[in-house]
Structure 1
Amino acid sequence: MDRLCGLAKRPAWHKAAPSLLVREDPASKPSAKVAGFDLNDTLVSSKIGAPGYQVTVSDWIFYSAAVPRRVAQLHEQGFRLVIFTNQGNIRSALDGKRAEAFKGYVDDFAKKLEVPILVIASTQRDKYRKPNTGMWEHLAKVNGVAIDLAESFYIGDAAGGAGEHSADDAEFAKAVGVRFTHTRDYFGPAGGGPSEAGTAEGPPKKVARLSGLGDSLAKSPEKPICIPGSRPDPPVVLILVGLPGCGKSTFADRLGPPAGSEDRVGMPWRRVCQDLLRSKEACVRAASTCLSQGISVIIDRTNINAEQRAPWVSLAAAQGAACHALVFDVPLEECCRRAQAREQHEGGLRGGSVRLVVSKLNKTLQPVSADEAQGFARVRVVTADADLEEERHYYGCSQVEAAREAGKGPETEASTTPPDELQRKLKLLTSMGFPADASAAALEAAAGDTNAAANSLLAERLVE
């Protein structure tokens, strides 16, 4: 009827659920590619610096001058533009004063944007509120075509960084399964001109996988490499690769105790961690000692480029061990969020310096190339919890858990240690780079506890 009368259908608001406001624009066509955006401090800001829930039709401005241009480019490239916004101040009053103020400035924003955009707003703390995925699920129902998650993305300002109110945007993107880009990385600084948004056009660049070799190498054997009551034969040098906060140490700790520790005696793995041993040289010595005893080692360092990985490949070859690489492909923002949330870290990386350090390391990440892979018996990439669980099973984490459940935790020793055992412990400490005299004194003070002695020696080294 509208078409017969020569009238174009106009955008309109409706209640899609008791807590969900939706602005439908007939010109917003279904697409497999979705460009998702947060609203406040991503697409719009307040002229007077008011918080998002107080913005009005007379107060809003574009977040930066780059917003209209970049959003229009995405529309031209076939993306469906969608806003996902939390507007909790509206609550259940979807027709109330605050709701009308919100609709008013969004209508004005959309008019000045001059491209069709779908708006989905959650108004209560329920399944629709980010980081929950209810708003995305609503989109999937009404979109008309299946959404290609690999081609879609989400842009927002809440990634858990310093001064940010939450990590809701980054967590929303992760939960949905699309890549996340921070507002400032795509639109530039607030109030900035188009040139400050960078020169890249179109959607954010896809984050390259750290290694694409997972599918090209032979699939893992169905049976774990390490079965209860045995050790990998030959021993394995397992190199963990990834940024701080990607989960390396959590994985390594479940697989085996630190090198030199008396914890979980008899386990087939030892964790070689530079945050504990304080130098690469000490790590090499500790790994060499373990391998000479037939004990496999997990190299718990960032190992982010071929140069850092090469010494471990060489060590494995020299010791007749198999060399494996496990690559943790976790987005930068997620690594920063996890690292910032840590209350304790063996290397002292926490607080406000985290993002700077992790971002700097991210710039030097180097994939495991086809040439480099020749030195590995196995390379795998983990991107999800399911992948990680498979790797835990493959490397025998179940043994460690079983030992813990059976009460085989840290073992106490008598204050008098047999001479041959004392020599073994002294040899282990000196292999880590500690002087023999200091090692003997530390062992005596720790009643033969190698782990306590090593910690004491490390503390003295840090003071020096």
Structure 2
Amino acid sequence: MAPPRGRVAPPAGSKRPAPDNDPSVSPPPLKRKAQSAISKSAVANFFIPTSQKPKDRTTWTERSPKQESKDTPATLLVAKYLPEREEANKAKPPSKRRKIAAFDLDSTLIATATGKKHAGDAADWKWWHHSVPGRLRELYNDEEYQVVIFTNQGGLTLHPDPKSKPPKSLQNRVASFKQKCSVVLSQLDLPVTLYAATGKDMYRKPRPGMWNEMKDDYELDESDIDHENCIFVGDAGGRIAELKGAPKDFSCSDRNLAHNIGIRFQTPEEFFLGKKPREFARDFDPKTIPFAEQDDNDGIVFEKKNEKDMILFVGNPGAGKSTFFWRHLEPLGYERINQDILKSKDKCFKAAADLLKDGESVVIDNTNPDPSIRAQWIELASKHKVPIRCVWFKTPMQLCEHNDAVRSLNKLLNPESRQSLPKLAFNGFGSRFKEPKLKEGFQDILEVEFRFRGTKEEYEIWSQYWV
């Protein structure tokens, strides 16, 4: 068989000959010049003395919720940008601007340059629309608005638990976020303050913590502010999905924040592009539960049928169980057993047994979602030869989450200083819940529908949007 045309393979072990000018052989690849990942400007900037480098005009501070103790870790990140032209006026008291134009950050003022949901790094951003910076400058320079930014940044942790070592990706997020925001604010070049809520406390939208911090920073009382001409712009407007069109919003927190502080709300499409508002819906609206003047029994008749007995509560966290106890059962001489206070189920059983032994009537103020846990209390009551009755709180889960948030964030409505519960606590009850039945061994079952029980002042707090 004839050898193939072109070069003949060299004998084993010999060096491959140079191609010379053989036209049947492709020319060798050109030697590529090594490329550095470091830009020329970065190299040049390295050799510039610090005193000659452009000043970063963004200053950063961290804050803790005012209602918490001094040892509470900071959860609010605040960036204040001061343009060079304003430097000379820094020492002077700021002139009060009565109109506030507040904006969400992501998907409102900026978007990712890569098109991904979350930014990959500090450079992964672009203006949400090319008109954004110009419109904000008009607001400040021509219309005398104070421009501020309120953003939820739950992916940031300012002070990680020292006992746990977070992954490097989490450790670098705060630095990357600061770097991105400094560039955004410098391109805008207006006196702007940015507030970033990193926790699930009073600062997180729709709660009014960031608005209150803004008022303090600009020395504004609520009466100073021109609420009628203020506006909050954000993408979390609770908009419902359009058929073959835009998807539903992930939340209604921006619209709810504007409602809480009493100012107008628009989405970025409405504000920057002039589009018509879309339909929206809230998952839960406390306004659907009106305030009613309270009578002595709230419309509930609870009679003590036995000289001594046990009352077993059944209901989600935040269903109103403890409030019901204080209002209806404590006046009848019942003693309360609560696991949030005693910290363990075993301690609850021991405390209840001791009280029954002493001739007291007791209320088990726990969630008691399923027949298996209820059977243990029924057995204890039987052992002490007392009847057991059930009070079932039929409060929907979303309403319970709302109640929990209101309670944990407002001292006026939180006499026991309870902490907020994780979503898991509510989902856990829902997954285990079985409707209580008389056949389990109860003397009777009282079903309680939720209604707000409190003063007008308490209702004003409760009826705001908290989740």
TM-score range, shorter chain: 0.3 to 0.5
Higher helix proportion, which one? 1
